[in-house]
Amino acid sequence: MSSRNQSSSLHKFKEILFSTMSSEELLNSLDSFSAREDDVFLVSYPKSGTHWFAKVIENIPNADITLTSPIELGDISKLEELKTYCKRRIIPTHLNYNMLPMDIKQKQCKIIYIIRNPKDTAVSLFHYYRDNPNLPGVETWAAFLELFLRGNVVYGSWFDHVLSWESHKNDKNILFIFYEEMKKDSSKSIKKITSFLDINVSDNEINQIAWKSSFREMKNNAAKENCDPNKTICVLTSNKNLVFRKGAVGDWINYFTSEQKRVFDELFTEKMKHSELARHFEDYS
């Protein structure tokens, strides 16, 4: 067995597993968070590209924004800390829709929800579990996949997470964006983001953002910036070298056996049968 056990690094809150880096006291107090009309929330299930998209937003010229650490990272003092930012706040989170603080919904703050193929997400989260001392140890891919399919991983079931957000797909203040589309045509996705945030950028600036936010550039910079705890976008580690692994689309094929794929696809079909977003993944399955 691994030396890192489940109970010491995770705790359950409202039936969902959280890292102990998110204190129960903070999770309990999220509804007292005071949102601002111009806040932007960058939301995803873990390992879906939050760092990448945060970097894109940070690279928008003249945006006059501050990227904060995740709303659910830390203890009760987080809510006070968030008040200290003067610029427009970009706040990352992995919370499902139901757990999002009430004031964000009432003020209809802008929200960018990033979605990634669940098979690639599962593989990425598996490596994260293996390499991250803040998460439970996991011995094998097969054992981890079982946990993932049951939703016994940090932030719960991928299916439930996506569906909780998809039920708000027609809300004008939410932009849904796919990891795979960003990989295929980053300029097009960046254009979507900047127009959603009402920030004017030229085509030349969009190309600059795309270059600065390329996976290779980010991975290189991660090594340089690794010691800055103020640049923590991940709720599960401040070590940037753990965050950028491959960033590949379709890497799952190197991990799933045909039987695992069959079990996964069956569950996907059952859980996502009414989902429009799920159709996007037909090309990647």
What gap in Å lies between CA 283 and CA 170, rounded to an integer? 24
Q: What pLDDT score does 244 carry?
A: 53
Burial zone of 76 (CB within 10 Å; 0-12 exposed, 13-18 middle, 19+ buried): middle
Spell out a b/e string for 44-54, using b for 16 or more CB atoms within 10 Å of the CB, else e.
bbbbbbbbbbb
Let me know if residue 44 belongs to a domain.
yes
Of 11, 51, 94, 280, catalytic: 94
- Position 281 confidence tier, pLDDT thresholds 50, 70, 90: confident
**CATH code (residue 201):** 3.40.50.300
Let me know if residue 134 belongs to a domain.
yes
Residue 101 pLDDT > 90, yes or no?
A: yes
Let me know if residue 1 belongs to a domain.
no
- Distances in Å between the alpha carbon of 268 and those of 10, 162, 203, 272, 285? 26, 12, 38, 6, 11
Q: Give the structural domain span for 122.
A: 6-284
Let me know if residue 72 belongs to a domain.
yes
Let me know if residue 79 belongs to a domain.
yes
What value does the mean pLDDT of the chain take? 89
Q: Is 168 a catalytic residue?
A: no
6-19 per-position pLDDT tens digit:
556 899 999 999 99
Let me know if residue 273 belongs to a domain.
yes
Under DSSP, the state recorded for 254 is G
Partnered with residue 174 across adjacent β-strands are 111
- Total number of domains constituting the chain: 1
Q: Mean pLDDT across the stretch 271-282?
A: 92
Let me know if residue 157 belongs to a domain.
yes
Q: Give the whole-number percent of the chain exceeding pLDDT 90.
A: 74
